[in-house]
Structure 1
Amino acid sequence: MTQKFDTVSLSKCKSAIPVIAQWFCYQWSDWYGPEGPGDAIADLEEWADGDALPLARLALSPDGEPLGIVALKNEGLGEEYGFGPFLSAFYVPSVHRRRGVGFALISAVEEAARDHGLGVIYCTTDGARSLIEKACWENTGLTSPSERGLLTIYRRSL
């Protein structure tokens, strides 16, 4: 089942930042949780600063409810190989999955990368592997260590 939504720059919907910060604290609690070193609000505000990297794209329902987010950042897992920039902070709450939101967010960040003159972007994932592969991202055959174990590095030529 598909769902009606738009993808927009986070800079156009900064009011969604508190909700997305809660998602981050839930999904990446080791980093953004109470004991973690990350600051979800500060990161999201940086990604909503305009059109320069880092940037984020948000999926919104017709009534303005955030449905998912993805970021494009210069740093990420895999930068030890000299790779970058990276699709990152990709999250769609389970209630909105399998409705086209994730695929639309991937497409939106690819478009943003092309708009910035980028020819290739990278990502790692443990939870969205099948979606990344369906979106025609190529497995580089390399991995990067994370707190979740070794993660496969994917590349998307634009």
Structure 2
Amino acid sequence: MVDAKKEAKLAKKLGFDEEGSLYILKGDRTIEFDGEFAADVLVEFLLDLIEDPVEIISSKLEVQAFERIEDYIKLIGFFKSEDSEYYKAFEEAAEHFQPYIKFFATFDKGVLWLTPVIPTLWEADGGGLHEPWSWRPAWATWLQRNYL
């Protein structure tokens, strides 16, 4: 615990600028806890930070569980492999936004076709992303189910 008044130099070095705030240090990141100061809320926040930043979806049951998540902003990406430069960038973004946005990924084309209603970014064989027309049907289905 850092007392910003007694340890002003340390607080300034760490970027702790709001008195009465709670900051979590994870690796080289400083994450400000902006939730309710209640034990159960803080524990849930810390448990979310311990989880892997990207959850891998590899089965129909996991797709169904993904679809039932309503309390969080969620993002899913399809990648050729965990070695893909796009997956590594996706993972880095997930670390930055964790635990506020839930990131999911799959490397199995079959999983995506089990439920074509998930808006998804597609990675092309030659690198880059397919043109938007290649994934528009998924968006249309998703929009129709959720908003129309």
User: Normalising by structure 1, what TM-score?
Assistant: 0.28
Q: Which has the higher helix share?
A: 2
Q: Which has the higher strand share?
A: 1
Of structures 1 and 2, the larger Rg is shown by 2
